[in-house]
Amino acid sequence: MVSQDLRAKYLGYLRFELSLSDNTCAAYLADVDKLLGWMEREALPLEQLDYSQLQHFVAQLYDLGIHPNSIARVISGVRSFGRWLELEGYVAADPTTLLEVPRKGRYLPTVLTTEEVDRIIEAARSRGGIEGLRNAAFIELLFSCGLRVSEACHLRFADTFLDEGYIRVLGKGSKQRLVPLSDSAIRELRRYLVHPDRPTPKRGEEEYIFLSARGKAISRITVFVYIKEAAAAAGVEKNISPHTFRHSFATALLEGGAGLQAIQLLLGHEDVATTEIYTHIDRTRLREQVERYHPRNQQPKD
């Protein structure tokens, strides 16, 4: 049987050799655990794992009614595991080489209109008090800047330049990018930050912009809950999550005529490794893309 020690070594490979995030490591392990659990039930030793056995494993996933997109993700994780087994000499040849990923259906993400975003922000604000201001500012930042929810949750004062009109974002793989702030985002952030009822941060949490009522950096779960509540209160019946605002940001720019390269850069999809590289990017050109094409910058000034 496959030992827990082998599993731990694979986790170490993901974490230290590939430098994957904790969430990505957990996802890979969850996929591999499905295979290992099946092997245990079948009393199948590691050295007997071959392409034929893997076909039986995948067939079982289909029999369980798992969606092809989810099966494709599991196979992706299993193939990574197979490559590692060969690399470390546990098997003579990678048994997953010929394993095919099922064709995925086209996925069209949910997108919000600017009017729907406005209603959700107002519903969040109507919660009242400092939480209402915080939630409204957070949602505005997601929509105006296209941030991932984890990026917004961990936004720091040191990376926020309201007078200059941009933020520095730490994205996946510890890559940094500069993102212009719309006037709406600046206004919402200032309303929240200057409010006297903003919680006193706990020790070690002083650097974060968005705080929970207990003074700690706000969690993704908290954001997910209040966004769902605000959407329901606003009468928006679409199934949305914090990531929906990122999709809506990109869609608004694309439909407005912005170039794909600028959108990819703003979303953090470019292969940029260090902050120094960003200092050589023409920030004025990026700002012009957002100011010209994003609906938040096509509104009358206050």
Let me know if 198 is a catalytic residue. Answer: no
| CA quadruple 232, 109, 180, 261: dihedral, nearest 10 | -170
CA distance linking residue 109 with residue 207, whole number of Å: 33
User: Which is higher by pLDDT, 275 or 56?
Assistant: 56
Let me know if 134 is a catalytic residue. Answer: no
Q: Please state, rounded to an integer, the average pLDDT across all residues of the chain.
A: 84
Q: How confident is the model at residue 139 (pLDDT cuts 50, 70, 90)?
A: very high
Let me know if 278 is a catalytic residue. Answer: yes
Q: How confident is the model at residue 278 (pLDDT cuts 50, 70, 90)?
A: very low
Q: How confident is the model at residue 30 (pLDDT cuts 50, 70, 90)?
A: confident
Q: Would you give the DSSP letter of residue 195?
A: -
Tokens in use for 160?
Answer: 């926020």
Q: Which tens digit of pLDDT belongs to each residue from 200-219?
A: 999 999 999 999 999 999 99
Look up residue 289 and give its amino acid.
Q
Task: Say if residue 230's pLDDT is above 50.
Answer: yes
Give the rounded percent of residues in the chain with a pLDDT score beyond 90: 48
Let me know if 246 is a catalytic residue. Answer: yes
**pLDDT computed for residue 215 by the predictor:** 96
User: Which is higher by pLDDT, 59 or 206?
Assistant: 206
The class (CATH top level) of 114-297 is mainly alpha
Q: Which one of 15, 127, 154, 172 is the catalytic residue?
A: 172
Let me know if 214 is a catalytic residue. Answer: no
**pLDDT computed for residue 154 by the predictor:** 94
**pLDDT computed for residue 1 by the predictor:** 46
Task: Say if residue 276's pLDDT is above 80.
Answer: no
Q: How far is CA 154 from CA 68, 138, 147, 277, in A?
A: 34, 11, 11, 22
User: Which is higher by pLDDT, 174 or 17?
Assistant: 17
Domain boundaries along the sequence of the chain: 4-87, 114-297
Q: Which one of 79, 119, 125, 148 is the catalytic residue?
A: 148
List the single range of 18-32, 107-121, 279-293 with lowest mean pLDDT: 279-293
Task: Say if residue 152's pLDDT is above 70.
Answer: yes
Per-residue pLDDT averaged across 276-300, rounded? 57
Tokens in use for 259?
Answer: 């170039």
Residue 60 contacts residue 38 (beta carbons within 8 Å): yes
User: Which is higher by pLDDT, 74 or 139?
Assistant: 139
Q: Could you tell me where the beta strands, DSSP code E, fall in the chain?
A: 160-161, 166-170, 176-180
**pLDDT computed for residue 170 by the predictor:** 85
Let me know if 269 is a catalytic residue. Answer: yes
**pLDDT computed for residue 277 by the predictor:** 27
**pLDDT computed for residue 195 by the predictor:** 96
**pLDDT computed for residue 38 by the predictor:** 86
**pLDDT computed for residue 55 by the predictor:** 87
Q: Which one of 216, 220, 278, 283 is the catalytic residue?
A: 278
pTM above 0.95, yes or no: no
**pLDDT computed for residue 302 by the predictor:** 58
Q: How confident is the model at residue 193 (pLDDT cuts 50, 70, 90)?
A: very high
Q: Which one of 125, 246, 247, 287 is the catalytic residue?
A: 246
Task: Say if residue 22's pLDDT is above 70.
Answer: yes
